[in-house]
């Protein structure tokens, strides 16, 4: 069939495949599989699409559908050994009777693909049937003598079809070329899916059946690197059904697991950790990063870093005696693994229960460029100072917002007071308010062992608020990617910042992409990683 395609059809097919590959690389599996399934509707002999869909069914556990697609691919490409190996693998590991008959459905049909996507992503997928039902419901409301009464009578159905109703509006806005509205509606749809997931998890115990609820003690010291991590963890575990305490004075042996957050800075906690470990009971040492790399300028250098020899010795001891170490970044995890420690990377998250994350930005006439730091980061900001001042001079509507370090504010003394604003540190729950004062976030970090271990927290939080960012090329920033631009030189800092100031549609699009990724870091989802670790180290107890 491919041989009979005209050049335009061939070009369109290649474009669709490239788009599908791009979606796969960016982990947008749902969009990718819809494209490949669509290709097979027009080109049922496309081997690449058959294999990708077949592999997806295999991952989802539907081996019959996978085998059907592999056999179809083999019919069009009988010489390919990789297809033969796929077929042999399934047949070797499953009873032959399982494959005597063809699947009851065609795996490439839309309904089957929607079911596959739901299995793979764990999210509801809007089917064409649901879109049609939403359209019929909308038409019925519009035709009614009393639309308000019609809405009241169909509230349950409207609630069920809310994603499909939003999808209808997305399609209408796209047809009208209103791409800004499309992005807003897509953001709304993503938030609806998040709420669906959270509602499903809310009040759902971490364990079920005739088991005893696990008791977890979360204690330690908050650092300047991630001042919310310990509190957010305790809240997330409590929401998942664990019995959680933060009372360090309680009886540690009565808990199934201890999470000791940066505990090496407190001698009393280290003594209790040693006693518990000696009794053979599990302790997880949770760290914001490898504190051995802290420099003298860091505000935690004396309290948690190598500035105090006693703290440094306690840190080494904690690394050696705890059952597992969790860290907030892949850079820290990589360094500690090389040193032989049992490390798991569990990223930072955020909690949607704080209403300030979703509070709309109050109207302002200025375009605020923000730098959010902790004390001691002057050397990180110095290389971009000239680029920021240059932008402030070129664009009168811009204003500089600095938070975290008063000395950093003084670094921009040549900027008029009316064009700059300093925001002092606030309580953790009020931190989203600081971010709401920013329209473009700058995260400059020079190349150093400390910065290469810092987490992606700043970029994640910017994503929650839909704030586009420009950042230095640290490992965490390169890994995160969504929502902003990595700048490798002064010229790039200037050109990227100028672009976000002048191209507001681009800035808006980046902010939306960052928001979509940040949704997956809500603490209910990060909490799943903790739940898996707790189950590994402290399995549930059967009451029977």
Q: Measured between alpha carbons, how far is 347 from 311 in angstroms, rounded to an integer?
A: 25
pLDDT for residue 442: 97
Closest CA to 54 of 10, 113, 114, 123: 113
Residue 206 lies in a domain: no
Buried b / exposed e along 465-478 (16+ C-beta atoms within 10 A)? bbbbbbbbebbbbe
CB 235 within 8 A of CB 241: no
Domain limit, last residue, from 201, 221, 246: 201
pLDDT for residue 213: 60
Count up the domains in the chain and report the number.
4
Residue 380 lies in a domain: yes
Phi, psi dihedrals of residue 259, rounded to the nearest 5°: -105, 110
Phi, psi dihedrals of residue 51, rounded to the nearest 5°: -70, -40
Q: Measured between alpha carbons, how far is 200 from 196 in angstroms, rounded to an integer?
A: 6
pLDDT for residue 194: 53
Q: CA angle, 121 as apex, 118 and 123 as ends, to 5°? A: 60
Residue 355 lies in a domain: no
Domain limit, last residue, from 161, 181, 201: 201
Low-confidence ranges of the chain (pLDDT < 70): 1-6, 8, 25-27, 59, 61, 92-105, 110-111, 114-115, 117-128, 147-148, 151-152, 158-159, 174, 179-180, 182-213, 540-544
Q: Measured between alpha carbons, how far is 364 from 204 in angstroms, rounded to an integer?
A: 42
Note whether 534 and 436 are same-domain residues: no
CB 262 within 8 A of CB 328: no
Q: What's the chain's average pLDDT?
A: 83
* Paired tokens of 92: 């070797």
pTM reported for the whole predicted model: 0.67
Residue 57, domain extent: 2-121
The residues near 359 (Cβ < 8 Å, ≥ 6 apart) are: 432, 433, 436
Note whether 506 and 474 are same-domain residues: yes
DSSP code string of 286-352: EESS-GGG--TTSTTTTTTSTTSHHHHHHHHHHHHHSSEEEESSHHHHHHHHHTT--EEE----B-T
pLDDT for residue 541: 56
Residue 356 lies in a domain: no
Residue 357 lies in a domain: no
Residue where the block lists tokens 């800035």? 507
pLDDT for residue 58: 77
Which residues are 211's β-sheet partners? 542
Note whether 230 and 154 are same-domain residues: no
pLDDT for residue 318: 93
* CATH number (domain holding residue 38): 1.25.40.10
Residue 321: CA count within 13 A, CB half-sphere: 21
Other CB atoms within a 10 A radius of the CB of residue 409 amount to 19
């Amino acid at each position: 069939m491919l041989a009979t395609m005209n050049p335009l059809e061939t070009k369109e097919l290649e474009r669709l495949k490239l788009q599908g590959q791009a979606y796969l690389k960016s982990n947008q599996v749902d969009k990718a599989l819809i494209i490949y399934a669509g290709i097979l509707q027009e080109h049922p002999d496309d081997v690449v699409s058959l294999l990708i869909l077949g592999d997806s069914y295999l991952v989802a556990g539907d081996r019959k559908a996978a085998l059907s697609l592999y056999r179809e691919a083999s019919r069009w490409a009988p010489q390919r050994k990789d297809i033969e190996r796929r077929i042999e693998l399934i047949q070797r590991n499953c009873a032959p009777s399982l494959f005597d008959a063809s699947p009851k459905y065609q795996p490439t049909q839309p309904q089957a693909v929607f079911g596959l996507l739901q299995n793979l992503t764990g999210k509801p997928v809007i089917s064409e049937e649901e879109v049609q039902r939403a359209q019929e419901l909308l038409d019925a409301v519009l035709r009614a003598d009393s639309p308000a009464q019609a809405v009241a009578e169909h509230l349950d159905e409207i609630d069920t079809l809310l994603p499909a109703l939003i999808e209808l509006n997305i399609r209408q806005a796209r047809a009208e070329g209103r791409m800004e509205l499309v992005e807003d509606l897509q953001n709304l749809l993503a938030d609806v899916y998040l709420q669906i997931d959270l509602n499903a998890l809310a009040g759902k115990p971490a364990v079920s059946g005739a088991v005893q609820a696990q008791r977890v003690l979360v204690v330690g010291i908050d650092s300047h690197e991630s001042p919310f991590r310990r509190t957010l963890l305790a809240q997330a575990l409590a929401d998942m059904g664990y019995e959680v305490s933060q009372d360090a004075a309680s009886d540690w042996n009565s808990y199934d697991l201890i999470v000791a957050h940066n505990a090496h800075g407190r001698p009393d906690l280290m003594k209790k950790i040693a006693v518990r470990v000696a009794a053979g009971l599990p302790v997880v040492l949770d760290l914001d990063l490898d504190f051995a790399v802290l420099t003298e300028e860091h505000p935690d250098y004396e309290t948690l870093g190598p500035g105090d020899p006693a703290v440094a010795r306690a840190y080494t001891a904690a690394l050696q005696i705890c059952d597992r170490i969790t860290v907030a970044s892949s850079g820290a995890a990589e360094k500690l693994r090389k040193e032989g420690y049992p490390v798991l990377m569990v990223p930072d998250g955020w909690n949607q229960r704080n209403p300030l994350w979703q509070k709309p930005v109050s109207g302002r006439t200025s375009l605020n460029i923000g730098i959010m730091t902790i004390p001691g980061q002057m050397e990180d900001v110095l290389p971009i100072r000239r680029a920021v001042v240059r932008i402030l001079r070129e664009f009168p509507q811009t204003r500089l917002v600095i938070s975290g370090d008063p000395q950093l504010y003084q670094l921009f003394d040549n900027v008029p007071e009316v064009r700059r604003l300093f925001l002092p540190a606030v309580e953790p729950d009020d931190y989203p308010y600081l971010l709401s004062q920013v329209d473009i976030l700058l995260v400059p970090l020079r190349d150093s062992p400390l910065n290469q271990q810092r987490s992606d927290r700043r970029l994640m939080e910017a994503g929650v608020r839909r704030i586009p960012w420009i950042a230095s090329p640290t490992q965490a920033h390169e890994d995160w990617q969504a929502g902003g631009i990595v700048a490798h030189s002064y010229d790039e800092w200037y050109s990227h910042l100028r672009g976000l100031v002048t191209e507001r549609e681009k800035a808006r699009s980046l902010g939306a992409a960052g928001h979509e990724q940040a949704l997956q870091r809500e603490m209910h989802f990060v909490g799943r990683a903790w739940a898996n670790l707790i189950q590994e180290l402290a399995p549930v107890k059967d009451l029977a």
